[in-house]
Amino acid sequence: MGHSDSSDGARRPLSADRRALLRLGAAGVSTVVTIRPALAQTAASVLTCEIPVPDPARAGDFIAADGSLVPTDTPGAFRPSARPFTGEEVKAALTGRSLPGVDHQRSRAYTNYIRRLQQGTSGFTCYASLQMPRA
C-alpha cells in the first residue's frame, strides 16, 4: 500500500486518506456535482428570440426573392417585414411553412434572407441557435 504526505510532512497510508474521504460521505459532503446543459432555458429563449427582416441598419432596403438586399422599390423585390419574426416562427418556416402574416412568395424571400444572415447582422445569433441540435 502506498503512502501520501500530509501537510505537516508526516507520511500517512493512502488507505487512511481514503477512509477519511469515505467518512465525508457519511457527513453529507457531496463529491459529485452535475452541471446540466440549460437546454430548457435555451429552448425558451431560442423560440422567443427575434429576427428582423431586414437588419434595422438596412431598413431602407427591399428583399429580393433570393434573400439578398436590393434598393427600395426594385421590381420583384419585397418590402421589409413590419415586425421581426420569432425563433419559433422562423424554425417553422425553415421546414416549409410560411412565416405568419405573409404570402408564400414573400415568406420564401424572407426565409432566404434569414438563411444568408452573417455574424454581426441582427438576428444572426437567434438564427444560429435554431441550428443547434437538441441533446
Partner 1 sequence: MRWALGARTALKRVPLDMLTACFDRRSGMTHLLAAPAPELLAALAAGPADIALLLARMGIADADAEERAGLEAHLAALEAAGLVVRA
Residues in contact with partner 1 by CB under 8 A are 1, 14-15, 18-19, 21-28, 30-37, 39, 135
- Rounded to a whole number of angstroms, the minimum distance from the CB of residue 43 to partner 1 is 13
Where do we find the cell 452541471?
Answer: 35
Residues in a beta bridge with 51? 85
Q: Quick check: 90 and 130 in contact, CB under 8 A?
A: yes
- Rounded to a whole number of angstroms, the minimum distance from the CB of residue 41 to partner 1 is 13
Q: Quick check: 122 and 84 in contact, CB under 8 A?
A: no
Q: Which is nearer to partner 1, 30 or 119 (CB)?
A: 30
Q: Which is nearer to partner 1, 25 or 56 (CB)?
A: 25
- Rounded to a whole number of angstroms, the minimum distance from the CB of residue 9 to partner 1 is 21
Q: Which is nearer to partner 1, 2 or 120 (CB)?
A: 2
Which among 134, 62, 52, 61 has a CA at the least distance from the CA of 87?
Answer: 52
Looking at residue 122, its amino acid is S
